[in-house]
Chain A
């Protein structure tokens, strides 16, 4: 009898939960109706895994933004509450926690992830359930290609990779480069591709492309191979956990050429892992905490007061993502998911800490990047130079006629897609091709 009861309740609960899933999957607005209570926002990130410094910074940045918004009376009188989930830096876990945020917590919007691989794993869930997701710092172009509910407030890898290639070719006068990338990371693969393209275009030569996995016990085998070719610079588009060790082992092998990287290096842990070996290294990043502009310094001060540490770029982007979301909720007049998505995608000239944020046709932010020089004795990234996307010049002026034109076409295509009764997958497909072509045009415009 007892067993029967157990089985019955089990079946009942399964039915109940599947009913919930159906509801949220079929009718986009069902879970996000225009209530008057608090607005639930889901956050997911790596809080305990190999890249947990990313997740911690992200959540700190979002919390700071939300606290400021709520202290100022919330969004149209409604407070924002955060539901945070840990994905341990694993893509399959990212999918699971976003499913939970969508189906159980019924959040109105999602902020996250940092690593592109994890964002790519979770984005289809958000897109399928039509919950807007803003990734603060995933830079791989494919992330927003998943669908029109996915957007980001950072620049993308074609720009980030070419920034570093330009810097290497022009500022460091490098003629040859070696690339050492993480074979399992979409972020790393994207940067490798775009660095190589731009570096070759600037008359440089990529002498070898080596790869590692995050579990490699050492990197000396790859480095020895690179040493033989004696390149002028080594580009390492990886995450801080491996980069620190790679720098150390490269210097041990007597390789003293500049090491170049991207925003994946940005973590306080990097200094402990790499130490003095990180001298003569440069990274591309989203902002510099040293920038004297008042909006940046106010943010740095508020962040330091709350968390007692200097905010890295992931914290700054997360802060911006939360503010962009709040602004979009205000403009959409509520949390109706379709309206909210449109409001997010129409974000224009939003003054953020990491620059002026304007989303282009592929829902990517077009922003300048900064090149920072690593200073291990002070554990600090020192500002070196700002590199603007072509067509944008200092002071920031994102609304060129070119971007405007693309914006309009995008709005039309979005509207078309919402009206048509295509199945989900075809919708994604058409959207995918749509945004690929847009990316190409963006890239062409950048060149």
Chain B
């Protein structure tokens, strides 16, 4: 029993990270119908931004909650800025062309960010400093939870509540919903769609960066290509939950995280080798797309022909 709980805690920890990143995918898709393939790399950029902040401001030497908050918020701000810059200089100029053009631009952007970081920081894995003392708490029996895991749960839940508040209870949130409903009509209603889109990118990038910094507290190895697989799985999570649907992204993230951990933990009992953890995420995606193409929480949109 305690082993199962332990595996569930492990799974939900990485699931929360997937959820944070999936939110960015889903929001951008909701508004632009664009899969922002560079989003996984923003997660990596966030981790590096946090790394530079933490080492340059001396938080690495003496861990404190204050240092962690500053690093987290700073990394989120930097990533938000980079997200907006990418939208402004890479996506906006090609937005008037076909969707495919933007999609290819996104793939190009992803590669550009990855190898720019390899060029600047080299591919050597860096060790992210521990910003708060990591303790272990025994829940019951053998099941333990570490400070970094609690941090991931608490911070990601707080951020998701904040996001929900922004989208449903603020003016800009209303504008976002309007743009996602119909971009051209929103424009006609006097909404500054360019600003709303930029804001959405900033929001999504900040969440991904938070995911990056939180992961780095849990698994302190950062390297320029860390966003590829994680980003891909977060994308799967977004599709699984129903792309464009915000609660769906969170649900999808947690499901993927739990599923891949449980496969490692119990897969061999039913004949799935533990190294198939990555394959499982994609197998789930295929199954869901076959049965419910709109995703778990996605609504079926009737297309007029």
Contacts and interface: CB of A to CB of B under 8 A. Distances in A.
Interface of A: 47-50, 52-53, 88-89, 183, 210-213, 215-218, 220-222, 224-225, 227-228, 241-242, 244-245, 248-249, 252-254, 269, 272-273, 275
Contacts of B150: none
Interface string B77-119: 0000000000000000000000000000000000000000010
Interface in B1-44: 3, 6-7, 10-11, 13-14, 17
Contacts of B124: 48-50, 52-53, 269
A244 B14 contact: no
B275 A213 contact: yes
Contact of B134 (A210, A215, A252): A252
Nearest to A275: B130
Given A52-B122, A211-B275, A228-B142, 20 more contacts: A47-B122, A49-B124, A50-B124, A88-B118, A183-B275, A211-B273, A221-B260, A221-B265, A222-B264, A224-B7, A224-B10, A225-B274, A245-B221, A252-B146, A253-B144, A254-B138, A254-B144, A269-B124, A273-B125, A273-B221
A219 to B, nearest CB: 8
Nearest to A183: B275
A269 B125 contact: yes
Interface stretch (B168-176, B183-191, B212-220, B238-246): B212-220
A248 B3 contact: no
Interface string B234-274: 00000000000000000000000000110011000000011
Nearest to A251: B136
Contact of A217 (B17, B127, B136, B138): B17
Contacts of B125: 50, 241, 269, 273
A166 to B, nearest CB: 28
Contact of A269 (B3, B10, B127): B127
B274 A211 contact: yes
B220 A217 contact: no
Contacts of B277: 216, 221
A90 to B, nearest CB: 10
Contact of B127 (A89, A222, A227, A273): A273
B275 A50 contact: no
A224 B9 CA distance: 11
Contacts of B123: 48-50, 52, 88-89
B286 interface: no
Contacts, number: 104
Contacts of A221: 7, 10-11, 260-261, 264-265, 274, 277
Given A221-B277, A253-B144, A269-B124, A228 B3 contact: yes
A254 B228 CA distance: 31
Given A50-B125, A224-B6, A273-B125, A245 B261 contact: no
A210 B274 contact: yes
Given A50-B223, A218-B13, A227 B142 contact: yes
B255 to A, nearest CB: 15
Contacts of B14: 217-218
A224 B127 contact: no
Contacts of A249: 219
Interface in B151-178: none
Interface size class of B (residues with CB under 8 A): 35 or more
Contacts of B7: 221, 224-225
A323 B264 CA distance: 46
A224 B221 contact: no
B65 interface: no
Contact of B278 (A53, A88, A210, A213): A213
B165 to A, nearest CB: 29
Nearest to A241: B125
Contacts of B275: 183, 211-213
A224 B3 contact: yes
Given A52-B124, A89-B123, A218 B3 contact: no
Contacts of A89: 123
A272 B230 CA distance: 23
A24 to B, nearest CB: 30
27 contacts: A48-B118, A49-B123, A49-B124, A50-B123, A88-B123, A210-B264, A213-B278, A215-B228, A217-B14, A217-B230, A218-B218, A218-B219, A220-B10, A221-B10, A224-B7, A224-B265, A241-B221, A245-B220, A252-B136, A253-B136, A254-B138, A254-B142, A269-B124, A269-B125, A273-B127, A273-B221, A275-B130
B229 interface: yes
Contacts of B13: 218, 220
A183 B277 CA distance: 12
A254 B136 contact: yes
A275 B130 CA distance: 10
A241 B7 CA distance: 23
A47 B127 CA distance: 18
A252 to B, nearest CB: 5
Nearest to B218: A218
Contacts of B221: 241-242, 244-245, 273
A218 B218 CA distance: 8
B215 A217 contact: yes
B144 A273 contact: no
Contacts of A218: 10, 13-14, 218-219
B278 to A, nearest CB: 7
A244 B222 CA distance: 12
A275 B60 CA distance: 13
A225 B6 CA distance: 10
Contacts of A241: 125, 221, 223
A23 to B, nearest CB: 34
A50 B226 CA distance: 11
Contacts of B230: 217
A273 B221 CA distance: 7
Contacts of A213: 275, 278
Contacts of A242: 221
Contacts of A215: 226, 228-229, 278
Nearest to A230: B142
Contacts of A50: 123-125, 223
A172 to B, nearest CB: 23
Contacts of B136: 252-254
Interface centre among B17, B127, B146, B261 (most CB of A within 10 A): B127
B274 to A, nearest CB: 6
B124 to A, nearest CB: 5
Nearest to A273: B127
Nearest to B119: A48
